[in-house]
Amino acid sequence: MILESKQVAENVAGLLNSYAEGKNASTEVVKSQVMALIFSNVPSLDQAVASYRINCDDFLAKTIAVKGMPTRTIIGGSTGEIVSSSGRSVADNFQKLLPLIKKCHASCIENYRTQAKICFEKYVSDINQLIDQFLAEVPRTAKERAPYIARIKREIRYFSKWNQLFYTHKAMSFPSEVEYIFIMSGEPLAAVWEYSSLDEECEFPPDMDHKQRDGRVYAVRRNWAEAKSLMVVGSDGYIDEIDRPHQETGCMCHLHWLYSISDLPEEMLTAKGKASLEKSTTTQVGASTPPRATKKPSAPVARKSWLSRLFSKS
């Protein structure tokens, strides 16, 4: 019989209280019984990956069906028609892009397994540590035991849904990679990093403090303007040199794409690029130069690893 997480937590509490009152034979037996109870209601790593694969398969099927980013129309609500939001150009070149999408599908699933394994093992380590501490230094009275056992019960309930919690932060990983493929087919010049405060609020913060990337401009390698010597890579480097939004666990940031040299920062324009821009603006009566992307000069600063703060509860 599969027990609900609440019942599992109560049964574990009963075992620990009995042990504290001297009603159980040995620490080894109690530890084994406790861990068996806990794992009886915890999804395995393989189950978590299988669930993610199903979601990726579903998104891939919809992408193929509409030949672009699948988007549900407002009319009809949750049952509205699913259409492409990627435009005619993507649809016309879809068959050429499909092999890249399928390759991305496989890599996202493998990446999910790697990151989910880290998450799962951290949960196992944390719950083991809590149980071991209790068994090694058993509080004498019921009053002293209550807060400790309450914490263990809370961790058990979190552990029972670890796969759901983890997936929440990785749900956009495959869709964002597909969107990146479609965007690259449109030949952008660069991307501006837009930081999201959700990075700090989520339970799975990224290793890198992405706030330091806010406003940075990353060039697209071998783009048409670079090929024509109209621009050069800026001090922030190329977009393919860093992890992109949603690739790292807990990242909720976005990229704003630039398609015209008039949108680039001054430092990324060559003399030829500036001359071309000046020539185009002078031929337009009353035209004004569009605002260029701004940059923040600070370099990315590594902060405390998310693993040390993973699943921390206040």
**Which pLDDT tens digits describe the chain residue by residue (314 residues)?**
456 888 999 999 999 999 888 876 689 999 999 999 999 989 999 999 999 999 999 999 999 999 999 998 765 566 678 999 999 999 999 999 999 999 999 999 999 999 999 999 999 999 999 999 999 988 888 899 999 999 999 999 999 999 999 998 899 999 999 999 999 999 999 999 999 887 676 666 666 678 899 999 999 999 999 999 999 999 999 999 999 999 988 888 999 999 999 999 999 999 999 999 998 877 664 545 555 555 554 434 333 433 334 334 43
Q: Identify the DSSP state of 260.
A: S
HSE, side-chain direction, 13 A CA sphere, residue 56: 25
pLDDT of residue 304: 40
Q: How far, rounded to the nearest angstrom, does the alpha carbon of residue 299 sit from its chain's CA centroid?
A: 22
Question: Is 0.85 topped by the overall pTM?
Answer: no
pLDDT of residue 57: 98
pLDDT of residue 249: 85
pLDDT of residue 58: 97
Strands 190-194 and 217-219: antiparallel
**Residues, the chain, total?**
314
Q: Can you point out the beta strands (E) in the chain?
A: 70-72, 82-84, 190-194, 217-219, 254-258
pLDDT of residue 198: 77
pLDDT of residue 209: 79
43, 35 in Cβ contact below 8 A?
no
Q: CA dist 284 to 264, 272, 273, 276, 304, Å?
A: 19, 19, 17, 13, 51
Q: CA dist 150 to 40, 88, 126, 139, 240, Å?
A: 19, 57, 15, 13, 46
The interaxial angle of helices 94-136 and 173-185, nearest 10 deg, is 150
pLDDT of residue 306: 36
Q: What contacts 146, CB < 8 A, 6 or more positions away?
A: none
Angle at Cα 65 formed by Cα 64 and Cα 71, nearest 5°?
95
